Amino acid sequence: MRLFEMAVAIDQQHHGFKPFSRSQRCKLQSFGHLDYNNILELNQTTILAFQADNIHRSFSTPCLPLTGVEDLNPPHPRIEIVRGSGAPVHALVVEVAVAMASGIQPIPLPSGLGGAYVFHNQNGNNIAVAKPVDEEPFALNNPKGLQSTNHQMLGQPSLKRPIRIGETGIRELAAYLLDHGGFSGVPPTALVKFCHATFSDSSATVKLASLQRFVGHGFDAGELGPSLFSVDSVHKIGILDIRLMNLDRHAGNMLVMKHDHNSFVNGNAVADLVPIDHGFCLPEWLDDPYFEWLHWPQASIPFSESELEYISKLDPFKDADILRSE
């Protein structure tokens, strides 16, 4: 899979888009494999998280882009794709770039344990959710009082020990990449770099974050009874979670889709679900997963022919190649 090599940036003088350079010196290296002297673009508080004796060399950790001195302090807010490709991802990043150029600031979301921010467009419609890696639970800049008390750094074990601090963003992207053909409905996701965007840590000029398409929804699964959910969507989320060994599939990260019309089965409304929050999937070692849907009656219904066909075509070796190519 070819990477999208052009960063999306807004040129406020010419009101257009322009590329800016990104070094190709490393690819899917760990934080511990980066040349410390070249991490010039990171703010000082983030640099503290990269002290050499605190870094675990995890090969699942994304490579940070290394740029020249001319890119250290871009004058305007902008966004660059670090990992991720495809038309839906490119369209999402362009929409966020336009919003940033229009002076729209990300709005912090109160839910969840890590920092999360929603972007909206000029019409006021929500378009994307960003989650900076340095604001994850136990990370240095967590805005919700969950900084580590024993000075854990990026690369150290997090809330789920097989998932390391700073590595949930790349797993959000992995879930999207492995949801072949949008079978399970994972929203378009990328790993991006924000420059001069306003997040809770006002001292940071650069942020590495996951970016995911906002899903319009009326409820999450915890607010409704499971009898209202379609068998098809429950099965598709279950197939995804088992493939990815999701450690944290709770009712709050399955969204109930908004529809202009309702579907009915035997006179009852049936809602479709959208899975989000995949930062605790693909653990480094096996741990106890949690599948909320396992307790629902839909889990006892046999797979349909189309679901069995999809499962039969899955190839874990090709999946591994897809992740390596990113």
270-298 pLDDT, tens digit each: 899 999 999 999 999 988 899 999 999 99
Q: Each residue of 236-270: pLDDT tens digit?
A: 999 999 999 999 999 999 999 866 545 545 545 68
Q: How many CB atoms lie within 10 A of CB 102?
A: 12
How far apart are the C-alpha atoms of 67 and 65, rounded to whole Å? Answer: 6
Question: Dihedral, CA atoms, 104, 84, 48, 111, nearest 10 degrees?
Answer: 50
Quick one: pLDDT at residue 153? 67
Task: Write phi, then psi, for 267 (nearest 5 degrees).
Answer: 85, 0
Length of the chain: 326
Sign (positive or negative) of CA dihedral 121, 123, 127, 130: positive
Give the span between the Cα atoms of 129 and 277, in whole angstroms. Answer: 11
Continuous segment of H or E residues that includes residue 238? helix 231-244
Rounded (10°) CA dihedral 23, 26, 27, 31: -110
Question: How many Cβ atoms from other residues are within 10 Å of residue 53's Cβ?
Answer: 5
- The pLDDT value recorded for residue 151 is 53
pTM above 0.75, yes or no: yes
Q: Which is nearest to 85 in space by CA: 227, 235, 189? A: 189
Q: Which of 38-42, 123-127, 196-200, 305-309 has the lowest mean pLDDT?
A: 38-42
197 versus 135: which is more confidently predicted? 135
Mean pLDDT over 46-66 rounds to 42
Mean pLDDT of the chain: 78
Q: Which 3 state secondary structure label does DSSP give 83?
A: strand
20-51: pLDDT as tens digits: 344 333 333 333 333 333 333 444 444 444 34
Beta carbons within 8 Å of 313's beta carbon, 6+ residues apart: none
- Which pLDDT belongs to residue 263? 56
Task: Report percent pLDDT > 70 for the chain.
Answer: 69
Least confident of 94-98, 203-207, 219-223: 203-207
